[in-house]
Amino acid sequence: MKIVTVPIFNEAHLLPHFLKNVNEVIEPDLIILNEGMFPHGPENRHNISDRFIELYTHNGDGKRSFDIESTRIFASEHENVVLNEMDYGDISTKDAYIQAFTHGIPENTPKTASIFLTEADVFIHEGDRKHLIEISRDLPDDKVLTATFMRFFIAPHVRIYPDKERRIVMKYGDGSLVRKVAADNFLDHYVDRYAIHTDLRVYHYEWIRPGKYYSARRAQFEGARPEALMRWHDVARDQILRGEDINTSQPLRLETDRTIEHPIHIREHPSFAGTH
- pLDDT tens sequence across 174-193: 999 999 988 887 666 555 67
What is the band of 172 on the pLDDT scale with cuts at 50, 70, 90? very high
**Residue 255 parent element (H or E):** strand 253-256
C-alpha to C-alpha distance for 28 and 146, rounded to whole angstroms: 18
Q: What is the mean pLDDT of the chain?
A: 82
Average pLDDT over residues 33-42: 88
Which candidate, 153, 183, 182, places its Cα nearest to that of 250?
A: 153
Task: From 132, 141, 10, select the one nearest 63 (Cα to Cα).
Answer: 10
Summarised one tens digit per residue, pLDDT across range 59-74 is: 999 999 999 999 999 9
- 60-69, 152-161, 203-212, 217-226: which has the minimum mean pLDDT? 152-161
pLDDT for res 190: 56
Provide the domain limits for residue 227: 2-275
Alpha carbons 166 and 185: distance in angstroms, whole number: 8
What DSSP state is assigned to residue 236?
A: H
Whether the upstream peptide bond of residue 156 has omega within 30° of 0, thus cis, is yes
What CATH number corresponds to the domain at position 105? 3.90.550
Q: Is the pLDDT of residue 232 over 80?
A: no
**Confidence (pLDDT) at 250:** 37
The pLDDT value given to residue 245: 43
The predicted pLDDT at position 242 comes to 40
Question: Per this entry, what is the length of the chain?
Answer: 276
Range 121-142 average pLDDT: 93
pLDDT tier for residue 243 given thresholds of 50, 70 and 90: very low
Residue 15, pLDDT > 50, answer yes
Lowest mean pLDDT among 123-132, 138-147, 195-204, 265-274: 265-274
**Measuring CA to CA, how many Å separate 244 from each of 13, 157, 204, 232, 250?**
34, 13, 23, 14, 15
Query: Do 86 and 39 contact (CB within 8 A), yes or no?
Result: no
As for how many domains the chain has, the answer is 1
> What pLDDT was estimated at residue 155?
43
Angle between helices 15-25 and 68-76 (to 10 degrees): 30
